[in-house]
Amino acid sequence: MSNDKQALPGHETQSHEMNCINCGRFVGAVSKCPYCGAKVEKRMSLVAVRWAAVLLATIGLFLLYLMAKYREIPVVKLGDVTPTMNFAQIRIEGQAQSDARTFRNGGMGFTVSDGTGVIMVFMSPKQAKDLAASDRVPKAGDKVNFAGGLSVAEDEASVRLISTKDFQITRAPAAAVRLANITDAMVGKSIVIAGKVVDVFPPPANTKRPYALKIQDDSGEQTVNFWQSEYDQIQGKDVLNGAYVRLRVSVDTYQDKIQLKLAAGGDLEILDGPPTEAYSSPGKKAAATYAKKKATAATPARDFSRGRSVQSNSLSVSEVTTALDGKTVRVRGRVDSVKPPQEGTKQPFAVMLKDKDAALRVTYWPAVDEVIPVKPTPGTLFEMEGVVEVYQDTPQLKVKSGYKVKLVDDAPASAPAVDVSRAVPVSSITAANKGETRVVQGTLGVPRALRGGVAYTLTDDSGSIDLVLWESLVPTDVLGALAEGVKVAVSGEVGEYEGQLQLKADRGYSAMVIP
């Protein structure tokens, strides 16, 4: 106390330990008097609490740290997540339901399912970069195993990735698929495609549209879409145009049409030359190698046409001869009969293809049949690819893959897509016909790639007109059948673009090749 006058407020009930026992001056909580240097004794309980504080704060914290460090984060089924688990760190083992998509802020997200529930997973921009750099960006179908922090609200739950170090991914196998073989059955899956880049269309300025990469292989053409962030990741993008590439894409739909999406620039590989076919088994590889060796220079180009009543550059039934023994060919013909194997036997399926007077026996095993999306039925026009085998001096076709069995047209042969009798001369089409439908026939000029379509100059004896075929309207198999020099009949709407008349092909099978 300072003096023996009235005690200061509260000091009358304070402990004597607040003063130095040696000099009597106020020292407070210190343990050495700053005036006389004497040690200030504190009661045992206070000393004990001080030591306890230091020990708990240091050693206790260290032990807690060790406990946490070596603790296994529990695997929790998404179906078992409850609101009380908000902020929990859990481990999720599941399958990515969607390709990871990048947000505007650079973060990333994807949905994962473990069979009991589905949840959205979020990653920070840094984590997204880490995953991209180590090629672990999840794609639809990939198996994932990671630890995340749960966020549970009344109407939704999500998970934030804790660490990329812990993020394990097992890629879903992606089948190598020809462009023309891409079907709706593949939606939601990842596939590998390869071909030549016809053109790359950047998005128009001030739009939110993606890039469009037109790729072409010997079966057809497709468009692959991706965003600026993916484009920036593509290595060697300066030489992309015209290059041969292999891409892993996911199959999606957009406006009821198949859309191929590139999830990351790293999924696009620029090749040194035309791609070699990817084989799913050594047997197939051997068969293909054998077929290649047997192939002659005269092998017709693979122009996989699937237009309704379109006679393609693929072989007709009558063109399959014994000379093609061992070669892989594509044949188009109308199914005359389908004979499944008898029960209990190891017989193959046998399909008879007919084309006018010619007939060809096509065989394939039940395993192949399982994969065929639309089974051949009598009367339907099919195109099948397989190896020609000669049996008793008669050629037959052995189909190895169900993906190579494609429906061309399920309408009777008597109903062609385009009524050629209605064809008019090109010169008769004027600006007054804008908005009206006309049928023309003529020869196609050099194709010009458009964003989302292709354009040709169609020339008949009376003149020329621009023919525009949009991918969103015209099936790809029809587009695939068209090329420079091909004679076609087309039904379309008369329009005008930059002062020039043009014909926009109608939706559906509005173009057919005329032999």
- Binders of other proteins among residues 161 to 200 (CB under 8 A) are 162-166
Q: Return the beta strands (E) in 103-207 as ranges.
A: 108-113, 118-123, 143-152, 157-161, 168-170, 175-176, 190-201
As measured in angstroms, the least distance from the Cβ of 65 to other proteins is 6
Of 131-150, which residues contact other proteins (CB under 8 A)? 147, 149-150
As measured in angstroms, the least distance from the Cβ of 118 to other proteins is 19
Instruction: Render 47-66 in DSSP notation, one character per residue.
Output: HHHHHHHHHIIIIIHHHHHH
Told to check if 88 binds other proteins by CB under 8 A, we report yes
Smaller CB separation from other proteins, 77 or 285: 77
Burial class (CB in 10 A: 0-12, 13-18, 19+), 498: exposed
Told to check if 105 binds other proteins by CB under 8 A, we report yes
As measured in angstroms, the least distance from the Cβ of 134 to other proteins is 14
Q: Candidates 87-95, 111-119, 168-176, 391-399 — which segment interacts with other proteins by CB under 8 A? A: 87-95
Adjacent-strand bridge partners of 500: 497
Smaller CB separation from other proteins, 11 or 356: 11
- Structure tokens of 423? 């064809």
As measured in angstroms, the least distance from the Cβ of 62 to other proteins is 9
As measured in angstroms, the least distance from the Cβ of 218 to other proteins is 46
Smaller CB separation from other proteins, 37 or 378: 37
Adjacent-strand bridge partners of 465: 458
As measured in angstroms, the least distance from the Cβ of 163 to other proteins is 3
CB 364 within 8 A of CB 423: no
Contacts of 210 (CB under 8 A, 6+ apart): 203, 225, 226, 227
CA 46 to each of CA 19, 23, 41, 241: distance values in angstroms, whole numbers, following the listed order: 15, 22, 10, 79
As measured in angstroms, the least distance from the Cβ of 12 to other proteins is 7
- Structure tokens of 254? 């957009």
Among 21, 38, 79, 86, indicate the residue that binds other proteins (CB under 8 A): 86
As measured in angstroms, the least distance from the Cβ of 145 to other proteins is 15
Of 381-440, which residues contact other proteins (CB under 8 A)? none
Smaller CB separation from other proteins, 26 or 470: 26
Give, for 288, the enclosing helix (H) or strand (E): helix 282-294
Query: Rounded to 5, what percent of the chain is helix, strand, coil?
Result: 20, 35, 45
Q: Candidates 160-168, 382-390, 446-454, 467-475 — which segment interacts with other proteins by CB under 8 A? A: 160-168
Told to check if 82 binds other proteins by CB under 8 A, we report yes
CA–CA gap between residue 108 and residue 511 (Å, rounded): 43
Told to check if 74 binds other proteins by CB under 8 A, we report yes
As measured in angstroms, the least distance from the Cβ of 83 to other proteins is 4
Q: What sign has the CA pseudo-torsion 405, 409, 411, 414?
A: negative
- Structure tokens of 115? 């069979």
Smaller CB separation from other proteins, 17 or 336: 17
As measured in angstroms, the least distance from the Cβ of 115 to other proteins is 19
As measured in angstroms, the least distance from the Cβ of 76 to other proteins is 6
Among 95, 98, 127, 314, indicate the residue that binds other proteins (CB under 8 A): 127
As measured in angstroms, the least distance from the Cβ of 100 to other proteins is 18
Helices H / strands E in the chain, number of each: 7, 28
Smaller CB separation from other proteins, 5 or 293: 5
Q: Buried (b) or exposed (e) across 268-307, using 16+ Cβ within 10 A?
A: bbbeeeebeeeeeeeeeeebbeebeeeeeeeeeebbbbbb
Smaller CB separation from other proteins, 38 or 57: 57
Q: Candidates 64-72, 174-182, 246-254, 355-363 — which segment interacts with other proteins by CB under 8 A? A: 64-72
Of 2-61, which residues contact other proteins (CB under 8 A)? 2-3, 5-6, 8-18, 23-26, 28-30, 34-35, 42-43, 45-46, 49-50, 52-58, 60-61
Indicate the SS3 state at residue 126: helix
Q: Cα(first)–Cα(last) distance of the chain, in Å?
A: 118
Q: Candidates 79-87, 394-402, 411-419, 494-502 — which segment interacts with other proteins by CB under 8 A? A: 79-87
Q: Candidates 75-83, 254-262, 450-458, 477-485 — which segment interacts with other proteins by CB under 8 A? A: 75-83
Smaller CB separation from other proteins, 82 or 289: 82
Q: How many residues bind other proteins (CB under 8 A)?
A: 75
Q: What sign has the CA pseudo-torsion 85, 88, 92, 98?
A: positive
CA–CA gap between residue 27 and residue 41 (Å, rounded): 11
Told to check if 153 binds other proteins by CB under 8 A, we report yes
Told to check if 205 binds other proteins by CB under 8 A, we report no
